[in-house]
Each structure stands twice: as C-alpha cells, then as structure tokens.
Structure 1
Amino acid sequence: MKAAIFSCKGLGDGLISLLLSNNLYLNGYRVDTFHGSLDQMQSFFSHLPIKKYPNEDKIDQILKFYDQIFVSYNESSSFIMKLIKEGKKIFIDKVFVLNPCPSKKIGGQPYHRDALFDPSINMVDNILLFCKKILKLKKTSKKIDLKIDKNLTFKKFEKRVILHPASAKKSKNWPINKYIKLAQVLKLKGYDP
C-alpha cells in the first residue's frame, strides 16, 4: 500500500510525523512524508522518503495515487485545507485528518473522530495509539532508526541554541518580544541563540 503523510510546517511536527511514517513502513507500506523543510534531513531517515509540498494543482493526482493519506490539520495552509476538503468529499475512507489541537472538550476539534487524539497525553503517544487502535498496525514502535553521518561531531557547538518561533497554529505562537527576551537571557548565560 502507498501512503502519504502531510505534516504541519513546524520542525517538531515534521519529526513527529516521521513516527507515523516509520510505523507504516514497519508494516509494509511505501510512505512519502511531505513537509516544507524536513527534506534537508533526508540523510538521517534514509528509509523514509521526505518530499516538499507539491502545488495545489496536484491534489487530484495525490488523492488518486495514494491508498491512504494522513493530513495534519493546519488552518493556515490553503494546500492542507483544500486537500482535506477534496479528499473528504471524494475519498472519505482513505483520508485521515490528524488534529492534535488541545481542547478541554474532547471531540471539539474538527475531524476529531479520524484519529481520536487525547489532549491529556503527548503527541508521540497519540500517534502510537492511532497506529494501534485506529489503523490496527501489527508492529508499532516509538523508535526511529537515525543514520548519523560519521563526519558529524557531537556537541561541536555546545553552546549553540536554536529558537523556533513559529507553529502551525497562531494561538500557540509567542509574541516576538518574548523570543527576543529569551535570546537575551540565553546570551547572558553564555549561549549562542
């Protein structure tokens, strides 16, 4: 079976989507993971093809080509929203919308029934439960084998810190002044943000 996973734009979201990709791979699926920038890390995940998002005019081809499509809900992406709309209209049984939006009212998120994510547990565990209970995959794992380049030096830049200021949902973003303040605090502690 051929599967496609369309992740939210965040780096963390992309890495978590690879957990789903890997579990599908362990069960014999051929999986393509789509993300805006994660393809730069392809060498770390040689068994999991990572591709950039295609153009919106390819949505019909995507819906026909893949046997199952997993889409992370992202209301700020016109591509994602169109993929969901078209997919749910034509191929309702093969398009799963993964909406990890935390909500005190379980089921209050759009497409909650596709994955039944529980806001009281972390995203990794939600993905694993989705694989076991909804997809009924026989083999599941939280581990993904990374292929680390032997030329990389562990902690080469020990004090370097990366600040990632954007998320898929605007409500999760800090105001920019908080990031500036965090960078200043890190500099005072000897880090290189």
Structure 2
Amino acid sequence: MKLRNDRSVAVVLPSPIGDSLIGLVLVNNLILNGYRPVVFGWVAEQLADWFPHVTVGRPGDWQHAFDTVLELRPTDYARNLSRTGETLCLSTLSAYGGHKHMVDRVVEIATNVLGLRDVTRSNGLVVPADIGCGRFADRVVIHPTGSHPEKMWGREKFLALARVLTRRQLQPSFLVAPTELGAWGDIGEDGHEVNALVRLDEVAKWIAESAWFIGNDSGLGHLASCIGVPTLTLFMRQGLARSWRPDWGPGAIVLPPSLLPFGGLRERLWQRLLTVRRVTTAFETLRGKHARVIRQHAAADFGDANATRMGMLPGAQSRRM
C-alpha cells in the first residue's frame, strides 16, 4: 500500500505514552516524505510545543474527513475519522510482530508497507528553546511507578536507591502521577523529594532539566530517551528489553540475574532478584560511559575550534612536514 500525496492522512496514536512516542516516528517519516498528516491522541496534544512540525487534531472536529487513517492499535474513534469507515491498523501487520525493537518495526512498515523513501528512527521531538537542558546537573529523576504493576520494582528498593544516590552527592527526585501521590506523598516526610505534575509537557520539562533518569519499563523512560537525558531502565526480562527499551538517547538497561531456569518463575521473582547494588552499579556504569562520551565530544570540538582558527576546515587532519 503506497500512500498517495494527494490523499488526506490521519494518524491515531494509542493512549500509552511510550506507544505514542513510537507512533510519532511514523508521523515524522510521513512529514519528511511530503505528507501533512493530522495526528490524534492526548500525548500529541500535551506535547504540541515539543513537536512543532506536527498538526494535532481533535476527533470531534474531523469526522469522516480523511482518505487514509492509520492507527498503531485499534481505537474506538479512528473509524469515525475515515471517509470509508476503514483504517489501516499497524498492529495487524506481520511487520509489527517479531523480535525487532518497536521503533524498527515502525520504520520497516514505513519503508516496506507505505513505500516511504527517506526514513528515520527519530520521532522529531524538539526541546523548546526556553528550557535549559540538564541545568540541574545533580538531579536524578526516579520514576518508581508504571501502568503495569508486575513491571514495577519494589518501593523500598527505590527508596534505598535514593539514599545511595544522596550519599553520592546526587539529588534524587521522585516523579509520580497525580493519582499516585496518595501512595507516594508520605516519602516527603522522610526527606525525599516527590513531585506529581499534572500535564505531560510539565513532566517533559522536569525531565529535560535533569541530568539522569531511572525508572521502570514505562512511557516516561521513552520520553527521557527521546529528549536525550541518559536513561537507566529496569526490566523483568531480556525479551521485553529487546523490543521496548528506550532507544533514542544515551541509556542502558538493568536485568535481574538469571538464577532461575524457568521464565515464569523469574518473572514472578524478578523484583526480589534485582538488588539495589545491581541497579546502582548499572547506573554508575552508565554515568562513566556518558562522561567519557562528553569528554570525547569536548575534545573534538576543541580540536575543530583550533583548526578553524588556523584556517583549516573542521575535522581536517594536519601533518608535520
């Protein structure tokens, strides 16, 4: 199915944050190839300033308006946007399955199903100019919750991790949803910082102005990754990490040790098996790796600056005669 440029196109994003950010990869590729899709979904609405090239619509204003309606997963209103009542649901396509990362599955569909020529893994997120990326150089955002309780590490372990970070002169900052504040607000009495921001753009700003992000397998890890904040994600098993790890910016994953032979048993016990020490070690490894990358970039920039002052092109090499 090759899309025609003269056809109106809608893209309906799923509700989960991570799925929406991955769906925006498809939107970005449509835009790069000359299409002007209208995008529907609450994530796109609340992050409109972070996706300045995206046109966001509200379903009630676009009834039966589009020749082609694409949706990642079935929704209850996408058909009403279509002139024919039909949609192309990506999750029903064979390319959507398999073992590839979810971003790569969307890229494959964009290339081989929709026939797009210029394809990227980027979703096109742009940090607004008034936000100071990383200006709180010691702040580590900790996201201890998620939409699936079975994917959440233990509360006491997250608190223990925060104490370790504090002893290492870092500033742990817990980030939860407003509906989760009742279960987490009491940690403030023990000196922990906890925030419950209402809008997703406020959450994005808080993450962008921080130095690090640690969290469960959840949508906010994907948001931190595409903003470019180094991200450590806790997974229950390798298979999930292979397909769903945040995979835009610098980051790493941490898994429990494979001490048990049966996958089902490992999934039931992964929170116990994944220790605070193991997570702390993974975080320090990520910090060290990122610091080396920063130093290398700084050295390269310094070398290019010297070359420019000497009349050489940036990136050119000199040799002694």
Q: Calculate the TM-score normalised by the size of structure 1.
A: 0.68
SS of structure 2 residue aligned to 1:116: helix
Residues 8 and 72, structure 1, Cα contact 8 Å, conserved in 2? yes
In structure 1, C-alpha distance between the alignment counterparts of 2:113 and 2:66, rounded to whole Å: 18
More helix by share: 2
Find the counterpart in structure 2 of residue 160 from structure 1: 141
Q: How does 1:132-151 map to 2 (within 5 A)?
A: 132-151=111-130
**Equivalent position amino acid for 2:114 in 1:** L
Find the counterpart in structure 1 of residue 105 from structure 2: 126
- The alpha-carbon distance between structure 1 residues 2 and 161, as it changes in their structure 2 partners (threshold 3 A), is farther
- The alpha-carbon distance between structure 1 residues 139 and 177, as it changes in their structure 2 partners (threshold 3 A), is closer
Aligned-pair identity (%): 19
CA RMSD of aligned residues (A): 3.0
**Equivalent position amino acid for 1:139 in 2:** D
**Equivalent position amino acid for 1:20 in 2:** L
- The alpha-carbon distance between structure 1 residues 144 and 117, as it changes in their structure 2 partners (threshold 3 A), is closer
Residues 73 and 81, structure 1, Cα contact 8 Å, conserved in 2? no
Determine if the alignment matches structure 1 residue 184 to structure 2 residue 184: no
- The alpha-carbon distance between structure 1 residues 176 and 143, as it changes in their structure 2 partners (threshold 3 A), is closer
In structure 2, C-alpha distance between the alignment counterparts of 1:20 and 1:177, rounded to whole Å: 29
Determine if the alignment matches structure 1 residue 174 to structure 2 residue 149: yes
- The alpha-carbon distance between structure 1 residues 38 and 180, as it changes in their structure 2 partners (threshold 3 A), is farther
For residues 154-193 of structure 1, give each alpha carbon's deviation from its aligned partner in whole angstroms, at most 9, with x where no partner exists.
Answer: 2234222335512xxxxxx124974634542442333222
Q: How does 1:46-57 map to 2 (within 5 A)?
A: 46-51=52-57, 54=59
Residue among 18, 37, 45 paired with 1:39:
45
Determine if the alignment matches structure 1 residue 66 to structure 2 residue 45: no
For residues 1-40 of structure 1, give each alpha carbon's deviation from its aligned partner in whole angstroms, at most 9, with x where no partner exists.
Answer: 3211111112111111111001111222111221223322
Unaligned runs of 5+ in 1: 75-79, 100-111, 167-172
Q: How many residues align?
A: 160
Determine if the alignment matches structure 1 residue 98 to structure 2 residue 90: yes
SS of structure 1 residue aligned to 2:119: coil
Shift of 1:48: 0.9
For residues 64-121 of structure 1, give each alpha carbon's deviation from its aligned partner in whole angstroms, at most 9, with x where no partner exists.
Answer: 31121111225xxxxx14545x789x444xx11122xxxxxxxxxxxx23x6313200
Q: Which has the larger radius of gyration?
A: 2
Q: Report 1 or 2 for greater relative contact order, CA contacts < 8 Å, sequence distance ≥ 6.
A: 1
**Equivalent position amino acid for 1:97 in 2:** C
Residues 14 and 41, structure 2, Cα contact 8 Å, conserved in 1? yes
